[in-house]
Structure 1
Amino acid sequence: MKHDAGSPLLFGCMGLGGGWDRGPIEAADVAAAHAAVDAALEAGITVFDHADIYRHGKAEAVFGRVLADRPGLAGQLHLQTKCGIVLGTADAPGRYDSSARTITARVQDSLARLGVERIDTLLIHRPDPLTPPEEIAAAFAALHAAGTVGRFGVSNHSGAQMARLQSVLDEPLAVNQLQLSLGHRGWLESAVAVNVAEPGIDASSFPHGTLEYCAAHDVQLQAWGSMDRGRYTSVGDPAAPAADREAAALVARLAGELHTTPEAIVLGWLMRHPAGIRPVIGTTNPARIVACADAGAVAARMDPDDWYALWIAARGQPLP
Structure 2
Amino acid sequence: MKQIKMGCTTLSIPAMALGIMRMNQKSVPEAQVAIQAAYDAGINFIDSADIYGGGKSEEIFGQAFSQMQIKREEMFILSKTGIVPGKRYDFSKEHILHSVDEILERMQLDYLDSLVLHRPDALMDPEEVAEAFDQLQAAGKVRFFGVSNFDVIQFKLLQSCLSQRLMFNQLQFSLKHTGMIDFGMHMNMLDESSIDRDSQFLDYARLHKVTVQAWSPFQYGMFKGTFIDNDGFPKLNQELQKLADKYEVGKNAIAAAWILCHPANIQILVGSMNPQHIRDSAKGAKIRLTRQEWYDLYLAAGNYLP
The amino acid that maps onto 1:17 is N
Q: Which residue of 1 aligns with 2:81?
A: 83
The amino acid that maps onto 2:20 is C
Matched, 1:14 2:21: yes
Q: Which residue of 1 aligns with 2:294?
A: 307
Cα distance in structure 1, aligned partners of 2:69 and 2:239: 44
Aligned length: 293
Cα distance in structure 1, aligned partners of 2:118 and 2:72: 23
Q: Which structure exhibits the higher relative contact order, with contacts defined as CA atoms closer than 8 Å and separated by 6 or more residues?
A: 2
The alpha carbon displacement at 1:57 in A equals: 0.4
Which residue of the other structure, out of 31, 45, 48, is the alignment partner of 1:47?
45
The amino acid that maps onto 1:291 is D
Matching of residues 203-218 of structure 1 within 5 Å: 204=195, 206-218=197-209
Q: Which residue of 2 aligns with 1:147?
A: 140
The alpha carbon displacement at 1:231 in A equals: 3.6
Matched, 1:219 2:210: yes
Q: Say which structure is richer in strand.
A: 2
Q: Which residue of 1 aligns with 2:3?
A: none
The alpha carbon displacement at 1:292 in A equals: 1.0
- Per-residue displacement from partner, 1:163-212 (whole Å, max 9, x unpaired)? 111111101000111101111111111222321122xx446472232112
Cα distance in structure 1, aligned partners of 2:108 and 2:30: 19
Q: Which residue of 2 aligns with 1:319?
A: 305
The alpha carbon displacement at 1:14 in A equals: 0.2
**Does the 8 Å contact 1:67/1:73 carry over to 2?**
no
State percent identity of aligned pairs. Answer: 35
Q: Which residue of 2 aligns with 1:187?
A: 180
- Per-residue displacement from partner, 1:32-91 (whole Å, max 9, x unpaired)? 211111111122100000000000001111111012212553232110000000001xxx
Matched, 1:118 2:111: yes
**Does the 8 Å contact 2:14/2:267 carry over to 1?**
no
- Flag structure 2 segments of 5+ consecutive residues without an equivalent: 1-5
CA pair 195-6 structure 1, distance change in 2 beyond 3 A = closer
Matching of residues 197-208 of structure 1 within 5 Å: 197-198=190-191, 201-202=192-193, 204=195, 206-208=197-199
CA pair 128-183 structure 1, distance change in 2 beyond 3 A = same
Q: Which residue of 2 aligns with 1:56?
A: 54
The alpha carbon displacement at 1:213 in A equals: 1.5
CA pair 219-144 structure 1, distance change in 2 beyond 3 A = same
Cα distance in structure 2, aligned partners of 1:172 and 1:97: 21
Q: Which residue of 2 aligns with 1:22?
A: none
Q: Which residue of 2 aligns with 1:131?
A: 124
Cα distance in structure 2, aligned partners of 1:203 and 1:119: 39
The alpha carbon displacement at 1:315 in A equals: 2.3
CA pair 165-115 structure 1, distance change in 2 beyond 3 A = same
> Is the deviation greater in 63-72 or in 270-279?
63-72
Structure 1 counterpart SS, 2:203: helix
Cα distance in structure 2, aligned partners of 1:165 and 1:85: 17
Q: Which residue of 1 aligns with 2:99?
A: 106
**Does the 8 Å contact 1:190/1:207 carry over to 2?**
no
Matched, 1:252 2:241: yes
CA pair 262-138 structure 1, distance change in 2 beyond 3 A = same
Cα distance in structure 2, aligned partners of 1:313 and 1:95: 38
**Does the 8 Å contact 2:205/2:211 carry over to 1?**
yes
Q: Which residue of 2 aligns with 1:233?
A: 228
Q: Which residue of 2 aligns with 1:23?
A: none
**Does the 8 Å contact 1:155/1:178 carry over to 2?**
yes
The alpha carbon displacement at 1:132 in A equals: 1.1
Structure 1 counterpart SS, 2:243: helix
Which residue of the other structure, out of 253, 258, 272, is the alignment partner of 2:261?
272
**Does the 8 Å contact 1:191/1:208 carry over to 2?**
no
Matched, 1:282 2:293: no
- Per-residue displacement from partner, 1:257-300 (whole Å, max 9, x unpaired)? 122221110010011011111110011111111111211111xx
C-alpha RMSD of the superposition: 1.7
- Per-residue displacement from partner, 1:126-181 (whole Å, max 9, x unpaired)? 11011211111111111111111000000011111111111111010001111011
The alpha carbon displacement at 1:5 in A equals: 3.6
Cα distance in structure 2, aligned partners of 1:71 and 1:263: 28
